[in-house]
Amino acid sequence: MRVLVTGSSGQIGTNLALRLQADGHSVFGVDKRQNTWTDDFPYLLQDLAGHYPSFPGGIGGVEYPEVDLVVHLAAHAKVHQLVRQPHRALENAIMTFNVLEYARRLSLPLIFSSTREVYGDVHRFEEYGEEAADFAYTESPYSASKIASEAFIYSYARCYGLSYLVFRFSNVYGRFDNDLRRMSRVLPLFIHQISRGEPITIYGGDEKVLDFTYVDDCVDGIARGIYALAEGRVANETINLAYGEGNTLVRAADLVGSELGTDPQVQFAPSLLGEVTRYVADIRKARDLLGWTPTTPLDGGIPKAVAWFRDWRAAHPEEDAPLLNADEDGVEHGFKQPAGAGA
């Protein structure tokens, strides 16, 4: 297959592109940033958030190579950053619109990367079945951008016959997630700080429970979705992809500490505005529709994540330095990085 991956310089995009290539498919990436981990697949540098006139062969007047399916991952994906800079949430919706117009023109099936954030801070539910999402509980501009994107996709399916799968991810970790000056995701941030003997801050207290997904499980779910959608076996479904188990951030920090052979110094702080404080995915639909079963629980994934991080650091010792806060484009702001849990 020929697959277009937007957001191909990001964590999931990089892992997915390499996995698809290893499976024998050809990948064409689009991202506004260079890939800092690999140049093993071709990609185009392009800002997907422009207000472009529609163009059949690609977005923004650029002719893309012919593809069979689109995986749309490009987004501003930092929950708390989008509370501070909500225009980036609007850009997320514009990117989805541009990708949808492109898919509509060429009748391409689309896979979209949504998030558990669309459920809001769901202390309201015992279980998180896909139908439980409700826009009245939108927690943050980031959630709003993903709810809006989902709504656009559902409307394109009804009005223009778009064939799609929407995946809702949760705290993906494990490889190509260490660009902390850009993203500061919670687990690589813990690994960075604990390995340097620095204290970590857990926002939301010792009861904050999240569903961490090892990146190979996530990518395997997307790959199964690609094949099922391309073959017409599964279409027009919204599916949670996570491990399906809750872990406190305290346990996550302890697991990182024991892998690094040190006791983490933990500070607690109130939850950051817009962040979810409890989520455990219901993953039965992914099992039933895609035959997908995640294989890496947190205590199996953290050793792999720490090993990958250590190997990368050994080759890039200059990254072993204190972090200042930075926006997504790497502009530092001179105050301490908040350890937001992300999406």
Which spans of this chain sit near ligand NAD (rule: CB under 6 A)? 7, 9-13, 31-33, 47-49, 73-77, 91, 95, 113, 115, 169-172, 183, 342-343
**Structure tokens belonging to residue 249:** 């951030």
Q: How far is the CB of 230 from ligand NAD (least distance, A)?
A: 20
What gap in Å lies between CA 301 and CA 217, rounded to an integer?
10
Tell me the closest approach of the beta carbon of residue 196 to ligand NAD, in angstroms. Answer: 23
Q: 3-class SS at 27?
A: strand
265 or 272, CB closer to ligand NAD?
A: 272
Residue 330 CB, nearest distance to ligand NAD (Å)? Answer: 11
- Closest to ligand NAD by CB, 7 vs 264, is 7
Write down the least CB distance from residue 146 to ligand NAD, Å.
7
Residue 263 CB, nearest approach to ligand NAD (Å): 27
Q: How many CB atoms lie within 10 A of CB 134?
A: 14
CB 308 within 8 A of CB 175: yes
Closest distance of CB 47 from ligand NAD, Å? 5
Min dist CB 72 to ligand NAD, Å, is 8
CB closer to ligand NAD out of 73 and 298: 73
Select 169 or 292, whichever has its Cβ closest to ligand NAD.
169
Say how far apart CA 57 and CA 283 lie, in whole Å.
36
- Measuring CA to CA, which residue among 50, 37, 51, 44 is closest to residue 7? 44
Q: Which is nearer to ligand NAD, 7 or 225 (CB)?
A: 7
- What are 199's two structure tokens? 């204290």
DSSP letter assigned to residue 342: -
Q: Between residues 69 and 95, which has the closer beta carbon with respect to ligand NAD?
A: 95
What gap in Å lies between CA 225 and CA 214, rounded to an integer?
17
Distances 246 to 138, 164, 218, 286 between C-alpha atoms, Å:
21, 28, 16, 17
Question: Which secondary structure element, helix H or strand E, spans residue 192, and what is its range?
Answer: helix 186-195
Nearest residue to ligand NAD by CB is: 10
Cα separation, 259 vs 302, whole angstroms: 8
- C-beta of 47 vs 68, nearer to ligand NAD: 47
DSSP-assigned letter for residue 46 = -
